[in-house]
């Protein structure tokens, strides 16, 4: 008897399931039960429960045979029918993207770079082709997280917000979107894959192999019970290594987003000074100045202690980083620096990360 490896089963599962969305027929969902915009504890129409065996497989375990593959395919088909109801096309000015409705009264999660800025008009295209109007709210640019709200009266089918901090590498996930804009004859586009990497200090993103293309930005990444665990943000160097905003970021900054605040910098656009602090120091003492950095060009030296930035007191290296983060690339700043017994002012033009 021929024995198949777990990798072989995974390839067969992907082959069977990736195109499953093409075969789906429309499904009428029950009306959502009332919840507040930030309340995600109650089950929603977009969620489907898993039996213990499917939970094991979708958590990263190998399917044990053809019966498991068929059960996986059936589950994905049912789940996709429902998830399409809360995945929306988003048009802001001339820009198009995607989003996901996460409350009965029409709050929509998207990517910050899709929303652009607060208080802009938005046209949302629902799964049945209807268009409704809304506004952009807050933006956390550092994480590429954006919030919007449908303003037309109505009750909207929505998805539950999951827990991205409970994810595990290797678990199955499903991304939806409207690449190229909403198309009635195509409907929502679905990509099945796995979580490859969890968020880190470097990427701040969930990385999956759910292949994304232009227009998928702002669309949702779901776990296999239909809960939103991330928002499509950007395509990495390889087409199959794609990044998603963790949904926990939206929960942690909900009040600021809902108030319409905008803060931070898009990934790769962060301002850079170009120094490293002395480990264990109780002040902002410079331990290293990176060659050709803004700090080097401005004349900062190893051993300098930075006392102020634009008149704002700096009492630690972390407070220096926090103050730099509030500025923009190419912005000139004034540093008050103690060098030995001498105190001086140094002007530095901030750079941009990656340059």
| Catalytic annotation, residues | 113, 144, 217
Cβ count near 36 (within 10 Å): 10
SS3 content of the chain, % helix, strand, coil (to 5): 20, 30, 50
Helices (H), the chain: 6-18, 52-58, 66-83, 112-115, 247-252, 254-258, 294-298, 317-325
CA distance 320 to 302: 16
Count Cβ atoms within 10 A of the Cβ of residue 104 and give its class: 0-12 exposed, 13-18 middle, 19 or more buried. buried
Asked whether 211 and 180 are in contact (CB, 8 A), the reply is no
- Token pair belonging to 116: 């652009």
Please, which residues have CB within 8 angstroms of residue 218's CB and are 6 or more apart in sequence?
90, 97, 98, 99, 109, 110, 111, 114, 115, 146, 177, 231, 232
- Token pair belonging to 74: 């059936």
Asked whether 101 and 228 are in contact (CB, 8 A), the reply is no
- Token pair belonging to 268: 């790769």
- Token pair belonging to 134: 């809304």
CA distance 5 to 9: 6
């Amino acid at each position: 008897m021929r024995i198949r490896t777990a990798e072989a089963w995974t390839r067969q599962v992907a082959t069977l399931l990736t195109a499953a969305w093409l075969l789906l027929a429309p499904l009428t969902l029950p009306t959502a039960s009332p919840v507040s915009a930030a309340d995600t504890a109650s089950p929603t129409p977009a969620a489907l429960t898993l039996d213990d065996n499917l939970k094991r497989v979708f958590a990263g375990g190998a399917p044990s045979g053809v019966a498991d593959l068929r059960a996986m395919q059936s589950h994905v088909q049912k789940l996709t029918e429902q998830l399409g109801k809360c995945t929306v096309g988003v048009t802001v000015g001339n820009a198009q993207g995607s989003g996901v409705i996460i409350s009965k009264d029409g709050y929509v999660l998207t990517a910050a770079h899709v929303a652009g800025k607060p208080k802009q008009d938005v046209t949302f295209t629902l799964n049945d082709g209807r268009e409704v109007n809304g506004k952009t709210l807050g933006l956390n640019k550092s994480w590429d997280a954006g919030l919007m709200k449908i303003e037309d009266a109505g009750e909207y089918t929505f998805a539950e917000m999951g827990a991205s901090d409970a994810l595990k590498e290797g678990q199955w996930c499903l991304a939806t979107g409207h690449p190229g804009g909403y198309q009635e004859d195509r409907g929502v586009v679905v990509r099945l894959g796995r979580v490859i990497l969890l968020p880190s200090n470097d990427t701040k993103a969930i990385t999956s192999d759910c292949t994304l293309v232009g227009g998928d930005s702002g669309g949702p990444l779901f776990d296999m019970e239909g809960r939103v665990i991330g928002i499509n943000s950007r395509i990495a160097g390889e087409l199959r290594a794609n990044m998603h905003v963790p949904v926990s970021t939206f929960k942690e900054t909900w009040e600021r987003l809902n108030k319409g605040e905008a803060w931070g910098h898009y990934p790769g656009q962060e301002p850079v000074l170009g120094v490293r602090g002395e480990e264990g120091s109780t002040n902002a003492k410079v331990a290293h100045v990176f060659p050709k950095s803004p700090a080097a060009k401005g004349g900062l030296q190893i051993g300098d202690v930075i006392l102020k930035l634009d008149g704002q007191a700096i009492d630690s290296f972390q407070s220096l980083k926090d103050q730099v983060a509030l500025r923009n690339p190419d912005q000139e700043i004034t540093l008050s620096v103690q060098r030995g017994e001498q105190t001086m002012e140094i002007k530095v033009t901030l750079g941009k990360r990656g340059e």
